Amino acid sequence: MIRHNDIYIDGEWVEASGDEFRQVVNPATEEVFAEVRRGTAEDVDRAVLAATTAFEGWSQSSIEERARVLRAMADAMERDGDEVASCIVEEIGQPISWAQRASVATTVKDLRNFADALSDVVWEEKIGEATVRRIPAGVVGAIGAWNGPIRSVTLKVGAAIAAGCTVVLKPSEVAPLAPRLLARFAEHAGLPRGVLNIVSGSGSVVGEAMVAHPGVDMVSITGSVGAGMRVMEVAARSVKRVALELGGKSANIILAGADLAEAIESGIEDAFRNSGQACGALTRILVPRDQLQRAEELAAAKAQSFVIGDPTDANTQLGPLANNDQYESVRGHISRALDDGVKLVVGGLERPAGLDRGYYVRPTVFSGTNDDRIAREEVFGPVVVIIPFDSEEDAIRIANDTDFGLAGGVWAPDRDHARRVASRIRTGRVRINGTPIDMRAPHGGLKLSGVGREMGHHGIEDYLELQAQHG
């Protein structure tokens, strides 16, 4: 049993002041393997004081120094990548091959991208007789997500450090262990004391205290729409800047003439990554009506091809959902869709064969309309819905008929045609014909999907304010 009593403040691990512990459960075995003491509002005060004290020096650091620290942090994470991946596998059941690639290697690349992107930021420009400078926003309260316990926090910490900000980090209570490793990587990189502080605890106590704290200048959260709304509400009381990376219900539009088999396969791989626990997952598959039956057959075959099981096995493609609450939530969505009479193509409520314990859900495909609840609500599990359209205009209408606007995909024989359609989709990111995402480009959403952008120099700029000097 792992037991952590401490939080990270001003470069040291010190005892948290809370009396309660949060149990950490391995979702593949349903067994408790760790306990982490919950922090308190008092601990947030201590962390904010350390971050405020460190801000004076770090905000004046050179671009070269920040880049050096970020690259050194990346080197340290890469060196200890096996430990990071193993921790994530145990915390959230992410398959080891995916954890090594998407949680470790991609996060290492994010840090290096931030270091490189520092030279792309326009730090100072002349406008007539005025000089306009970009300056650090201040002390940042960063709140991480359980579906990406190391990457979601590193995208915030890395960008904030690059901007010259200091950070108080609250990891997700579901997955609090991997983010603790950032303290080691920061120390290895020579990050000054107090620039990064880590306080574990609940959203209702530590999160609320952080967002409401007068010493916190900006809050960045990756989480649910409800959590984002609460952050914006509390932050408004002190007119605090916020960055929200929230939910999605993204459409993958497959236009007439596109390679249907390739588009279905690629789209479902995207939708089911991390067991479907991805905010930008392409969970609505839009196909021409005359190709609906063929699309259902292709989607069923692809869904049934996934290897489900032990996340420590390198051959496993789908692990369990990260926690019991999410398991029950996903099953609830599936049950309601069945009660609503939505056509079940494959999957459903039965457990995957041979898996009698763990929070496993069968890869599930529905076929319905955009008015079905399963097509409108974020499921956050390995569940997609196929929706037919009657024309290109109809496809665009359906894609935009959602409360979310995080991601999307467009498939067409002509790339320029696909881009023209993509430009009409109200979403923050669109993949054309399955093109891989460039991690230097901005990521973020419209509508209920959030406010602000992460990754690359756009991510850094979210942590900067403008100052005009006249004269």
Which ranges in 164-214 belong to alpha helices (H)? Answer: 177-189, 208-212
Rounded CA gap, 125 and 136, in Å? 16
- Residue 61: which of 182, 141, 160 has the closest Cα? 160
239 and 266 in a common domain: no
Which ranges in 308-440 belong to alpha helices (H)? Answer: 324-339, 373-376, 392-400, 415-422
CB 205 within 8 A of CB 38: yes
Structural domain includes residue 17? yes
Residue 357's Cα: distance from chain center in Å? 27
pLDDT at residue 266, as a whole number: 98
Pairing of strands 284-288, 383-389: parallel
- Residue 299: which of 343, 334, 246, 329 has the closest Cα? 343
Burial label for 445, CB within 10 Å (0-12, 13-18, 19+), is buried
- Confidence label for 137 from pLDDT (cuts 50, 70 and 90): very high
Structural domain includes residue 224? yes
Total number of domains in the chain: 2
138 and 175 in a common domain: yes
Identify the domain containing residue 416 by its residue range.
251-438
The CATH code of the domain that includes 85 is: 3.40.605.10
423 and 464 in a common domain: no
- pTM of the model as a whole: 0.97
411 and 332 in a common domain: yes
Rounded CA gap, 361 and 331, in Å? 8
Pairing of strands 130-136, 464-470: antiparallel
263 and 220 in a common domain: no
φ and ψ at 69, to 5 degrees? -65, -45
Structural domain includes residue 444? no
215 and 325 in a common domain: no
pLDDT tens profile 22-79:
999 999 999 999 999 999 999 999 999 999 999 999 999 999 999 999 999 999 999 9
The CATH code of the domain that includes 411 is: 3.40.309.10
pLDDT tens profile 256-268:
999 999 999 999 9
CA distances from 203 to 41, 87, 259, 353 (A): 11, 22, 45, 36
387 and 310 in a common domain: yes
Return the structure tokens found at 27.
Answer: 């979702």
81 and 46 in a common domain: yes
Rounded CA gap, 221 and 300, in Å? 35
Percentage with pLDDT > 70 across the chain: 100
Q: Which residues are catalytic?
A: 245, 279
pLDDT at residue 176, as a whole number: 97
266 and 232 in a common domain: no
466 and 401 in a common domain: no
309 and 170 in a common domain: no
